[in-house]
Amino acid sequence: MSDFPFDTVLFDLDGTLVDSARDLGPAVNAALAAIGRPPVAESEVRSMIGGGTDMMLTRALEATGGAVDEATYARLSQALLDHYWAHIADHTVPYPGCLAALDELAALGCKLAVVTNKAEKPARELLAALGMTDRFAFIYGGDTLGRENAKPLPAMLHAAVADCGGGRAAMVGDSTYDVRAGHAAGLPVVTCAFGYHDVPAAELGGDATIDGFDELVGVLRSLA
């Protein structure tokens, strides 16, 4: 029996397991270009990720001249998804040390699951493209339980923990959505300084922050 304090560890995807801004940025810029808007810089896109691709599009439109009518929005949302689907893993990679940390947690007997606001289909496609699918017992996307149940609500987290067999669980994420969802689910939350957020990770209100995946297992032990 492992003395590790958690049975289940839930992970956010974008900005936590994988650095995906270099593929999400061009996708949102393809949508903006369709209506003649200027592109947003990658540094700016990074602060728009975390609420799902529609939230990213809404924020990019606000930053480049304001909202558009519903029909245009629907067209741009589809353009973004089409571009993203075609380039989902062109540049996206797991963060340094991520795979080793997942191996270590698995060896400690932890069940691992993904709880992302990215829609489930592209989340699965991305994890498959990176050869990461089999590491996770369950993969929840922002639409798996209906968009209205995406983070910051805790529904996906509750479901994923139950799927993993219950027990002691922790959440690892990079944004306010993750901290709020984790705490609403009653879980300790580790935030990732290397991810996407508009305030420093240490100010997101999580229980601990890591600067790299080499710190994750030790930090989780310290949360016991």
Q: Which does 117 bind (CB under 5 to 8 A by kind): ligand PGA, Mg ion, none?
A: ligand PGA
* Per-residue mark of binding to Mg ion, 163-202 (x: CB under 5 A): -----------xx---------------------------
Residues at the interface with ligand PGA (CB under 6 A): 12-15, 49-53, 56, 116-118, 175
DSSP lists the bridge partners of residue 22 as none
- 12 binds Mg ion per the rule CB under 5 A: yes
- How many of the chain's residues bind Mg ion (CB under 5 A)? 6
Rama region for 36: left / alpha / beta (φ>0; ψ in -120 to 50; rest): left
Nearest approach in angstroms of CB 195 to ligand PGA is: 8
Nearer of residues 92 and 117 to ligand PGA, judged by Cβ: 117
Question: Could you tell me which of 15, 124, 36 has the C-alpha nearest to residue 79?
Answer: 36
Active-site hit among 3, 7, 12, 143: 12
- Cα separation of 87 and 101, whole Å? 27
What ranges make up the beta strands (E) of the chain? 8-11, 18-19, 93-94, 111-115, 138-140, 169-173, 189-192, 208-210
Using a 10 angstrom Cβ sphere, with 0-12 exposed, 13-18 middle and 19 or more buried, the burial of residue 104 is middle
**Is 143 one of the annotated active-site residues of the chain?**
no
Nearer of residues 58 and 175 to Mg ion, judged by Cβ: 175
Active site residues: 12
Q: Residues within the annotated binding site for Mg(2+)?
A: 12, 14, 174
